[in-house]
Each structure stands twice: as C-alpha cells, then as structure tokens.
A = this chain, B = another copy of it.
C-alpha cells in the first residue's frame, strides 16, 4: 500500500482514485497549489475528476488536517499545502506575485507566551511577508 493511501486510511478516509491522485499532486508540489492547479494537473495526467470533487476532497483533507488552507494578498483564491511539510513561511513579491519559502520561523516560543497571556489554546499561525523581489524593486521605486 502506498504512502498516500496510508495517510488517507489513518484518517479513516476511503481511498479512491481521485483522492490518491489529488493528494499525490499536493505532495509533489514544492509550493502551495490552488484548486485549479490541482484540477489542471489531474487533466494533464488524464485522471478524470470533477472540479467539485477537487474542492470537496481538498476540504475533507483540510478538515482532517492533512493539508493547510490559506490566502495570499493579491490573489483571492485559496492555496493548499501538506500540513506535514516542514513548518515554513513565504515571502511574496508584491510586484510579480512570485512566492518563495523562507527557512526558519521567527515565532518559536512566542506561542507559549501568548497562550499564557490569553488563555487560548494556540493551534498554529500563518505568516506571510510581503515585499519586492530584486527585479521588481527596480521597476517600482517608491
């Protein structure tokens, strides 16, 4: 049984062709993907899956904490990535919208402080950093 199938079973989810394919795509991506990205890659791979199935599957996986879901400023669509990828953040270019991962999280330790201060049970955080990449910085003097 494949790695991907195990991951689904562990959560009590049925292992269908579509789910395996969608999860494999998410796993293979170096960067977060949109529902459309997944849908198009399925087509390229000649695996039939309806767009509503893609959304439902991504939603199910999000609820089962297999993947994260988030938004990036400048783009109104949801992005998805494996929750098991090493914790990281993204640096987003305001100009060309390119996103690059940043290694090292500046928030280690902070969550505990906050937990004590607020009495919330902290589950995680989402941080994106915005700026201009070297190329766009040249075109956009501000």
Contacts and interface: CB of A to CB of B under 8 A. Distances in A.
Interface residues of A, number: 35
A7 interface: no
Given A78-B76, A106-B107, A134-B119, A126 B127 contact: yes
Contacts of A78: 76
Contacts of A107: 106-107, 127
Nearest to A105: B110
B132 A121 contact: yes
A122 to B, nearest CB: 4
* Centre residue among A71, A76, A120 by max chain B CB count within 10 A: A120
Contact of A129 (B100, B114, B129): B114
A123 interface: yes
Interface in A107-142: 107, 110-111, 114-115, 118-134, 137
Interface in A16-73: 69-71, 73
Interface of A: 69-71, 73, 76, 78, 91, 93-94, 100, 102, 106-107, 110-111, 114-115, 118-134, 137
